[in-house]
Amino acid sequence: MAVIGKDIAEAKQLLSEGELVAIPTETVYGLAGNALNDQAVAKIFEAKNRPSFDPLILHTDSLEKVKSFVREIPQSLEELAKAFWPGPLTLLFPKKEIISDLVTAGLDRVAVRIPQHPIALELLGELDFPLAAPSANPFGYISPTQAGHVQAQLGDKIQYILDGGACQVGLESTIVGMEEDQVVIYRMGGLDLREIEKIVGKVEVRSHSSSNPAAPGLLKSHYAPRKPFLVGDLEKLIPEYLEKGERFAVLSLARKFLLPADFPQYQLSESADLAEAARHLFGYMRSLDESDVNLILAEWMPEEGLGRAINDRLRRAAALG
Ligand code: TXA
Ligand code: MG
């Protein structure tokens, strides 16, 4: 089992020795290693059982440091960096040689983010290398939003989990890059697209595609519980599955349903607040996945703001592509 603690010096020590440490961010917990050390990077892929074609995000604490490992910062992306970093935004830049092909899975662009979490920022401020950090979950499973989630799944693979409490955003970062002069969104996430469009105008959203070679992490089945996960109109799904005699759980935005007393049901936000719903989503999916039901029934969020990013995760959890 890993040690869970708040010792930044311990985390720094391990990372400097090429070991992996789980770190808190505002989006989800990351499984971090020295991005300039190929052996540390290889350990990340191994611990997560992640295919090597799926590139990693670099984490650092200043735009100055970013400039030391990218060739060019397009103006629109610099404006986004200035507006939203530290924050739940990942930007794609042409990489310098110093960043190995292992990190980018051979792609010319590298993904970079400055996370908004005091512990992560303090740690990153003390390091003279960036951290490569994917979400700290086995490949394809639900991302961790608490230290205990990391312990449950990767605790036997790492020595230390830096505890920063529950993640305040709860969805992975929004991934943004440029193609020619067009700003493109490759993954919807914790930063609302409407905020991005206020700075750079209309963006193109590609993240729905399930076979997008530019972002191989966007596979059809991802962020997925082990139990069958169905998304649709709960008013119809619930009677249908009661009729079938199935024992199921319900995940709704705000409504409560009349169910047998021992059927678990969670509301993501009683006031239908989508930021609160995002914060709760992965933790609730995990609890329901661990409960003694045969399947999970969920409903779509309003297709606006963070609701779009939540729906993207629900779609992938249900492997609807
Ligand atoms: O919020 C987050 O982004 C979290 C925290 C820990 O920062 N990290 C995260 O990493 O979600 P991960 O590895 O689970 O997802 C990163 C995804 C990859 O699956 C891939 O689709 C995309 O980022 N990505 C990374 N590098 C890329 C690149 N060079 N070009 C296109 N997409 C890239
Ligand atoms: Mg992930």
In terms of CATH, what superfamily is 3-170? DHBP synthase (3.90.870.10)
* Confidence band of 319 (pLDDT split at 50, 70, 90): confident
Looking at the CA of 179, name the nearest ligand. Answer: 1
Q: What is the CATH number of domain 229-317?
A: 3.40.50.11030
DSSP tally for the chain: helices H, then strands E: 11, 15
Distances (CA, A) of 259 to 233, 243, 246, 252, 265: 15, 12, 12, 13, 9
Residues ≥6 apart with Cβ < 8 Å to 145 = 28, 29, 166, 167, 170, 279, 282, 283
Q: How many C-beta atoms surround the C-beta of residue 15 within 10 A?
A: 23
**Distance in Å, CA 307 to ligand 1 centroid:** 20
DSSP β-ladder status, 182-187 and 174-179: antiparallel
Mean pLDDT calculated for residue range 204-215: 62
216 pLDDT above the threshold of 60: no
29 pLDDT above the threshold of 60: yes
Percent of the chain topping pLDDT 90: 92
Q: Which of 206-210, 244-248, 300-304 has the lowest mean pLDDT?
A: 206-210
For residue 125, what pLDDT is reported?
98
Query: Ligand 1: which residue has its CA nearest to atom 33?
Result: 215
Q: Which residue has the higher pLDDT, 316 or 213?
A: 316
Looking at the CA of 173, name the nearest ligand. Answer: 1
* 116 C-beta closer than 6 A to ligand 1: no
What are the tens digits of pLDDT across the range 94-124? 999 999 999 999 999 999 999 999 999 999 9
What are the tens digits of pLDDT across the range 224-251? 889 999 999 999 999 999 999 999 999 9
223 pLDDT above the threshold of 80: no
**Distance in Å, CA 112 to ligand 2 centroid:** 14
> Which sequence spans correspond to the domains of the chain?
3-170, 229-317
DSSP strand E in 107-234: where? 109-113, 131-132, 160-162, 174-179, 182-187, 204-205, 229-231
The whole-model pTM stands at 0.95
For residue 213, what pLDDT is reported?
45
**Distance in Å, CA 251 to ligand 1 centroid:** 26
Query: Ligand 1: which residue has its CA nearest to atom 10?
Result: 134
214 pLDDT above the threshold of 70: no
For residue 211, what pLDDT is reported?
44
According to DSSP H, which parts of the chain are helical? Answer: 8-16, 38-48, 63-67, 75-84, 101-104, 118-126, 147-154, 193-200, 234-243, 274-290, 306-317
- Of 21, 167, 173, 175, the residue with max ligand 1 atoms within 8 A of its CB, to mutate for a pocket test, comes to 175
Looking at the CA of 141, name the nearest ligand. Answer: 2
**Distance in Å, CA 174 to ligand 1 centroid:** 9
